[in-house]
C-alpha cells in the first residue's frame, strides 16, 4: 500500500491516470500540430459570425465593423474584405444614450444567411440601431448593396445579447430583443405578414436565445402538415414556486405558415408552444442550461436529432454536458402531450399545474393539417377563438423533453462547453459514426465519439489561446471552422498522420483513422475504404490493438552528467490516458528526494554517481480491459569522465547519430542539465544582457570557482524523420527567455 501511496503523491501523470478515462481527452494537441490554420486581421476583433459558402469556395466571416471573404481551403488567406462602419452621427447618438462608444456603439455583424439567388442577407448591431443589408461575392469581390433595411426584431441592439435566426425560403425567422433596453424579447417572422410572439412572461420570460432550426416536415407529409421552426433557449421558469429565480432550458416550436388569428392573437403566433428541455446531470440540483444546439439529420426529417451543450446555471459545479434529443420525442411532447395551466393560489401567486380539462379542436398550437382543413380550417386565421385563447394562455407543455436514453452523452469537468457541431463518417467496418466537435470556454475543441454508450474523447485541440472562448463552429465535409473574439481558425476533421505507431493509431479509436500494415502509417480510412483487401486495422468499439505488430524497442540514448547536476529524462506518452512507468536497471523508479516523476519526464535531482544506469520509460494504456505497453524512451546515463564540456557536447551529438527505425510513439527526447543554483546567474546574465554560446560559456564555467551558478538546457526533439529539431522548453521550472535562447545557440553549434 505504501509504495502506491507514494506514487500517487508524485506527479500529474498519476493523477491523470486515476481520473475516469471517459471524461479525459486522450490527447491534447495544438492547432498547428493538428494541421490547422488561423486568420486574424490587425485592428479587427470579434470574429464570431460565420457562413460557409462552399459553392463560392469562401468562408464569409462577420466581425466588428468588417466582413471578410476567406479561402475555404486555407482560412489564413484573405480573398477580400469590406468595412461596414457606423457613422459618426450614429455613434454619437448611441453614446448619448449611455452606451460606450468604443465598445457597444460599433457595428457587430450578427446575421449572415445565404439567399436563394446566391446573395447573402447580413445584419449588424450598428451602434444599437440594428440594420440589415444584402451582400454578394463575385469575381473575388465582396459588395454590400447599401439597402440598409431596418433590423429591429431580426438582429439584437446589444452586441452582448444572445440571439438566433434562420432564413427559410427567403423569409427570416428571428429570436432577439426588439427594443433598445433589450427587455422586450420577440420571436418573429419578417415577411409581408409579420408574425410575432405575444409580450407575456408565460410566452417568454427573460429568455436567452440559443438556436433555431427549420424542419421541412411539410414536404411530403401524408397528414398535410406544415414545416416547423424549432427554437432553443433558456428562460426564467414560471412554473416553479421557488424564492430565487430558477432558469430552465426550453424547446419551442412554431409553424412556418402561421398567419396569426383573426380576433384573438392577431399577427401573433397561433402555434407557439414550448416545453422544458432536460439534461439530467446527477449531482446537480439546479437544471443545466442550454448553450448551443446542432441539428443532425442523417435522412429525412424524422431521423433528425438535436445535439445540445449544457452548463450549470449557478457556479455550483464545473461540469458541462452534451444531451441529444430526437425530433420524435420533442414532437410527441408538443403535439400529443398535456398542457400546463396557471391556477391562482392565495393572493397574487400563480401556480402552474397539469391541465386536465377538455382541449378544444383544432388542437391548440397545432399547425393546419388535412384534418383541420377537412373541418373547414384552411389557415390559422380560421381557427376558433376557443383554440386561440387556450394556447395564448397555456403555451407551456406539462411534460419535459428527455434526452435520448434519458441521460447525457457526455459529462465533463473543466472548461465550460460553448458550441457543438456533429459530423458523421463511415468507419472501416462500414458503419456510420457521429463525431461531435465541442468548443469550450478555454479556446479548445473536443473531438468526441459515442461507441455503444461509451463516450470517448479522442482529442482536445487548442484552437485559440486559453481564455478565448470558441464562439462559432461550422462544419464542411472535411474541415472544422471556428470563430472567437480574437481570431478565426480551421482544422481538418482528422489528422491521422499524428499517430505514429499502430498501438497509438488503434487505441485513439478515431473513426477517421486506421493503421495501414503494409505502409506502417496511420491513414485516413476514407482513402482505403474503397479497397476491401487493404490491410488496415481499426477497432472503434473495443479499442483492441492486439492485432498490431509487436513493437521494436527503441535504441537507448547515451547521456553523461556531472555530479550535482539535475538531469531530466523526457518521456511524453502520446496519450493522456496512459500511465508512465520508469525503471532503472530493471528496478522501478519511485518518487523520492532523488527522483521526481513528472508528466513529461523524470527529474534526477542532485545526481550522484549512483544515478548512473539504464533508464527506460514505458507507457501503459488500458483499453478493453487489457494493458497495452509501449516503450517510449530509454537512456544510458553515465557519470561524465574527463572534460565536462566535451562530454556534454557528446551528449548533444548522440541522439543525432540515431536514425529513425523504431515505430514507437513519436520519440521526444529532451535533456535538461541544470546546475543546482541556477537562478542567480541566469538573472545576472540577463541583466548584463550578455548571452554566450555553449562553448564559450563552458569555458567560463571551467574557470569559475565552486559556488558559481550555471545553467545548461539542451532540448532535443527527434521526430520520425530522424532529424533533430528544437523546441522551446516546457520543463517545469521557471522558464525564461534566457534559457530558451541558449538552447537555440547550442543547436546551431552542433548542426
Ligand atoms: C469583442 O472582442 C473584444 C476583444 O477580445 C472583447 O473584449 C469584447 O468583449 C468583444 N465584444 C463582444 C460584443 O463580444
Ligand atoms: C495557408 O496559407 C498560408 C499563408 O497564408 C501558408 O503559409 C500555408 O502554408 C497555407 N497552408 C496550406 C495547407 O496551404
Ligand atoms: C484552460 O487552459 C489553461 C491552459 O491550457 C489551463 O491552465 C486551465 O486549467 C484551463 N481551464 C480549465 C477550466 O480547464
Ligand atoms: C465535400 O463536398 C464537396 C462539395 O460540397 C464535394 O465536391 C466533395 O467531393 C466532398 N468531399 C468529400 C470527401 O465528401
Ligand atoms: C551508447 O554507448 C554504448 C557503450 O556504452 C554503445 O555501445 C552504444 O552504441 C552507444 N549508443 C549510441 C546510440 O551511440
Ligand atoms: C547534493 O549531494 C551531495 C552529495 O551527494 C551533498 O553533499 C549535497 O549537500 C547535495 N546538495 C543538495 C543541494 O542537496
Q: Where residue 510 sits, what CATH number does that domain have?
A: 3.30.1680.10
Answer yes or no: do 561 and 637 share one domain. Answer: yes
Nearest of 386, 231, 197, 194 to residue 308 by alpha carbon: 231
| Same-domain check for residues 525 and 564 | no
Which is nearest to 724 in space by CA: 670, 649, 684?
Answer: 670
| Within a domain: 43 | no
Task: Round to whole Å and give the CA distance between 568 and 587.
Answer: 18
CATH number at residue 586: 2.60.40.10
Alpha-carbon Rg for the chain in angstroms = 31
Q: Do both 529 and 565 map to the same domain? A: no
Cα–ligand 5 centroid distance for 558 (angstroms): 6
> Does residue 568 fall inside a structural domain?
yes
- Give the strands of the sheet with 536-537, arranged side by side: 521-524, 513-516, 536-537
User: Any idea which ligand is nearest the CA of 495?
Assistant: 2
User: Do residues 445 and 473 make contact, with C-beta atoms less than 8 angstroms apart?
Assistant: yes
Q: Are residues 562 and 647 in the same domain?
A: yes
| Residue with CA at minimum distance from ligand 1 atom 6 | 485
Residue 245: alpha-carbon gap to chain centroid: 30
Verify that 518 and 585 share a domain, yes or no.
Answer: no
CA distances from 171 to 115, 251, 358, 654, 721 (A): 9, 21, 36, 69, 56
pLDDT of the residue at 528 = 60
Give residue 606 CA to ligand 6 midpoint distance, Å. 6
**Grid coordinates 459553392 are at which residue?**
55
Q: Which domain holds residue 607?
A: 557-660
Is ligand 6 within 6 A of the CB of residue 303? no
Q: Are 728 and 667 within 8 A, CB to CB?
A: no
Residue 248 lies in a domain: no
* Residue 135 CB-density burial (10 A; 0-12 exposed, 13-18 middle, 19+ buried): buried
Among the bound ligands, name the one nearest to the CA of residue 608.
Answer: 6
Q: What are the backbone angles phi and psi of residue 660, rounded to the nearest 5°?
A: -75, 125
Which residues of the chain fall short of a pLDDT of 50?
A: 1-21, 643-751
CA of 269 to the centre of ligand 1 (A): 35
Domain stop point among 633, 660, 687: 660
74, 488, 490: residue to mutate for ligand 2 pocket, most atoms within 8 A of CB? 74
Examine residue 613 and state whether it is found in any structural domain, yes or no: yes
Question: Of the ligands numbered here, which is closest to the C-alpha atom of 464?
Answer: 3
Residue 278, CA distances (Å) to 247, 309, 505, 644, 677 in order? 12, 11, 36, 67, 58
Of 660, 686, 711, the residue that ends a domain is 660
Give domain status of residue 104, yes or no. no
Among 52, 477, 530, say which to mutate for ligand 4: greatest number of ligand atoms within 8 Å of CB: 477
In short, whether 54's Cβ falls inside 6 Å of ligand 4 is yes
User: Is residue 16 in a domain?
Assistant: no
Q: Which of 77, 79, 490, 492 to mutate to test the pocket of ligand 2 (most atoms within 8 A of CB)?
A: 77
What is the tally of helices (H) and strands (E) in the chain? 12, 45
User: 92 C-alpha vs ligand 5 centroid, how far in Å?
Assistant: 75
Integer Cα distance of 712 and 562 in angstroms: 12
76 lines ligand 2 (CB under 6 A): yes
Contacts of 447 (CB under 8 A, 6+ apart): 435, 436, 437, 457, 458, 459, 460, 461, 510
Q: Give the ligand whose atoms come closest to the C-alpha of residue 485.
A: 1
In whole angstroms, what is the distance from residue 188 CA to residue 166 CA? 11
> CA 395 to CA 203: how far, in whole Å?
6
Q: What is the pLDDT of residue 366?
A: 95
Residue 737 pairs with which residues in a beta bridge?
Answer: none
pLDDT of residue 515: 93
Report the separation in Å between the CA atom of 266 and the middle of ligand 1, taken as the mean of its atom positions: 39
Q: Is 382 in the pocket of ligand 5 (CB under 6 A)?
A: no
The number of domains in the chain is 2
Query: For position 314, what pLDDT does the model report?
Result: 79
Residue 46 makes CB contacts below 8 A (sequence gap 6+) with 63, 64, 108, 159, 485
Note the pLDDT of residue 336.
95
Closest ligand 4 atom, CA of 55? 5
Helices (H), 542-609: none
pLDDT value at residue 527: 63
Per-residue pLDDT, 749:
27
212 C-alpha to center of ligand 3: Å? Answer: 31
How far is residue 411's CA from residue 310's CA, in Å, rounded to a whole number?
A: 9
Who contacts 85 (Cβ-Cβ below 8 Å, separation ≥6)?
A: 65, 107
Query: Cβ(656) to ligand 6 under 6 A?
Result: no
Q: How far is the CA of 566 from the centre of ligand 6 (A)?
A: 11
Instruction: Quote the pTM value.
Output: 0.81
Q: Is residue 393 part of a domain?
A: no
User: Does residue 563 sit in the same domain as residue 533?
Assistant: no
Same domain, 530 and 567: no
Q: Are both 561 and 656 inside the same structural domain? A: yes
Q: Which of 631, 660, 689 lies at the terminal end of a domain, its last residue?
A: 660
Say if residue 522 is in the same domain as residue 570.
no
Q: Atom 1 of ligand 1 has which residue's CA nearest to it?
A: 46
Residue 76 CA to ligand 2 centre (angstroms) = 7
Give the pLDDT of residue 529.
60
Asked if the structure places residue 379 within a domain, the reply is no
Say if ligand 5 is within 6 A of residue 353 CB.
Answer: no
Amino acid at each position: 500500500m505504501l509504495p502506491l501511496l507514494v506514487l500517487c503523491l508524485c506527479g500529474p501523470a498519476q493523477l491523470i491516470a486515476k481520473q475516469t478515462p471517459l471524461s479525459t481527452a486522450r490527447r491534447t494537441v495544438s492547432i498547428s500540430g493538428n494541421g490547422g490554420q488561423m486568420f486574424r486581421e490587425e485592428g479587427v476583433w470579434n470574429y464570431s459570425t460565420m457562413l460557409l459558402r462552399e459553392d463560392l469556395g469562401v468562408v464569409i466571416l462577420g466581425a466588428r465593423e468588417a466582413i471578410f471573404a476567406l479561402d475555404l481551403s486555407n482560412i489564413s488567406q484573405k480573398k477580400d474584405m469590406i468595412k461596414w462602419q457606423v457613422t459618426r452621427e450614429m455613434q454619437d447618438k448611441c453614446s448619448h444614450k449611455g452606451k460606450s462608444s468604443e465598445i457597444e456603439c460599433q457595428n457587430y455583424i450578427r446575421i449572415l444567411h445565404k439567399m436563394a439567388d446566391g446573395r447573402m442577407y447580413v445584419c449588424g448591431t450598428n451602434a444599437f440601431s440594428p440594420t440589415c443589408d444584402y451582400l454578394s461575392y463575385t469575381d473575388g469581390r465582396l459588395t454590400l448593396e447599401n439597402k440598409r433595411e431596418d433590423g429591429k426584431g431580426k438582429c439584437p441592439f446589444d452586441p452582448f445579447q444572445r440571439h438566433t435566426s434562420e432564413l427559410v425560403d427567403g423569409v427570416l425567422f428571428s429570436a432577439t430583443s426588439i427594443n433598445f433596453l433589450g427587455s422586450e424579447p420577440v420571436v418573429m417572422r419578417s415577411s409581408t405578414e409579420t408574425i410575432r410572439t405575444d409580450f407575456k412572461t408565460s410566452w417568454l420570460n427573460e429568455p436567452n436565445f440559443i438556436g433555431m432550426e427549420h424542419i421541412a416536415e411539410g414536404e411530403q407529409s401524408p397528414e398535410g402538415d406544415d414545416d416547423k421552426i424549432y427554437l432553443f433557449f433558456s428562460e426564467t421558469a414560471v412554473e416553479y414556486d421557488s424564492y430565487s429565480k430558477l432558469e430552465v432550458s426550453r424547446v419551442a416550436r412554431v409553424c412556418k405558415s402561421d398567419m396569426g388569428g383573426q380576433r384573438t392573437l392577431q399577427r401573433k403566433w397561433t402555434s407557439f408552444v414550448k416545453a422544458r428541455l432536460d439534461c439530467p446531470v446527477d449531482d446537480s440540483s439546479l437544471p443545466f442550461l442550454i448553450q448551443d444546439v446542432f441539428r443532425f439529420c442523417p435522412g429525412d426529417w424524422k431521423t433528425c436529432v438535436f445535439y445540445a451543450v449544457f452548463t450549470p446555471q449557478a457556479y455550483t459545479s464545473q461540469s458541462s454536458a452534451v444531451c441529444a434529443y430526437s425530433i420524435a420525442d420533442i414532437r410527441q411532447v408538443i403535439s400529443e402531450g398535456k398542457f400546463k395551466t396557471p391556477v391562482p393560489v392565495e393572493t397574487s401567486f400563480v401556480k402552474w399545474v397539469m391541465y386536465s380539462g377538455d382541449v378544444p379542436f383544432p388542437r391548440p398550437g397545432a399547425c393546419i393539417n388535412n384534418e383541420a382543413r377537412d373541418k373547414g380550417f384552411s389557415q390559422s386565421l380560421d381557427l376558433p377563438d376557443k383554440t386561440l385563447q387556450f394556447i395564448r394562455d397555456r403555451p407551456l407543455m406539462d411534460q419535459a423533453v428527455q434526452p435520448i436514453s434519458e441521460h447525457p452523452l457526455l459529462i465533463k469537468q473543466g472548461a465550460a462547453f460553448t458550441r457543438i457541431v456533429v459530423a458523421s463518417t463511415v468507419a472501416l467496418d462500414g458503419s456510420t459514426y457521429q463525431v461531435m466537435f465541442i468548443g469550450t470556454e478555454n479556446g479548445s475543441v473536443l473531438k468526441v465519439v459515442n461507441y455503444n454508450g461509451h463516450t470517448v474523447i479522442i482529442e482536445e485541440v487548442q484552437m485559440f489561446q486559453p481564455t478565448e472562448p470558441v464562439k462559432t463552429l461550422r462544419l464542411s465535409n472535411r474541415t472544422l471552422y471556428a470563430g472567437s473574439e480574437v481570431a478565426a481558425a480551421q482544422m481538418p476533421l482528422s489528422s491521422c498522420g499524428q499517430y505514429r505507431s499502430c498501438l497509438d493509431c488503434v487505441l485513439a479509436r478515431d473513426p477517421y483513422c486506421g493503421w495501414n500494415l503494409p505502409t506502417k502509417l496511420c491513414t485516413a480510412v476514407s482513402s482505403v475504404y474503397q479497397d476491401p483487401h487493404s490491410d488496415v486495422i481499426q477497432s472503434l468499439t473495443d479499442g483492441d490493438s492486439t492485432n498490431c505488430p509487436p513493437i521494436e524497442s527503441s535504441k537507448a540514448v547515451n547521456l553523461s552528467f556531472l555530479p550535482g547536476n539535475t538531469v531530466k529524462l523526457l518521456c511524453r506518452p502520446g496519450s493522456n490516458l496512459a500511465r508512465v512507468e520508469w525503471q532503472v536497471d530493471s528496478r522501478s523508479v519511485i518518487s523520492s528526494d532523488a527522483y521526481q516523476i513528472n508528466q513529461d519526464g523524470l527529474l534526477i535531482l542532485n545526481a550522484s554517481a549512483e544515478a548512473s544506469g539504464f533508464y527506460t520509460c514505458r507507457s501503459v494504456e488500458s483499453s478493453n480491459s487489457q494493458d497495452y505497453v509501449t516503450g517510449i524512451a530509454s537512456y544510458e546515463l553515465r557519470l561524465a569522465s574527463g572534460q565536462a564540456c566535451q562530454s556534454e557536447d557528446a551528449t548533444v551529438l548522440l541522439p543525432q547519430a540515431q536514425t529513425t527505425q523504431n515505430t514507437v510513439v513519436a520519440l521526444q527526447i529532451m535533456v535538461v542539465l541544470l546546475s543546482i543554483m541556477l537562478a542567480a546567474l541566469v538573472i545576472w546574465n540577463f541583466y548584463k544582457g550578455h548571452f554566450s554560446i555553449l562553448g564559450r560559456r563552458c569555458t567560463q564555467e571551467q574557470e569559475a570557482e565552486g559556488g558559481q551558478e550555471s545553467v545548461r538546457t539542451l532540448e532535443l526533439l527527434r521526430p520520425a524523420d530522424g532529424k533533430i529539431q528544437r523546441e522551446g522548453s516546457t520543463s517545469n521550472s521557471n522558464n525564461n527567455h534566457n534559457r530558451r535562447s541558449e538552447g537555440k545557440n547550442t543547436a546551431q553549434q552542433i548542426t
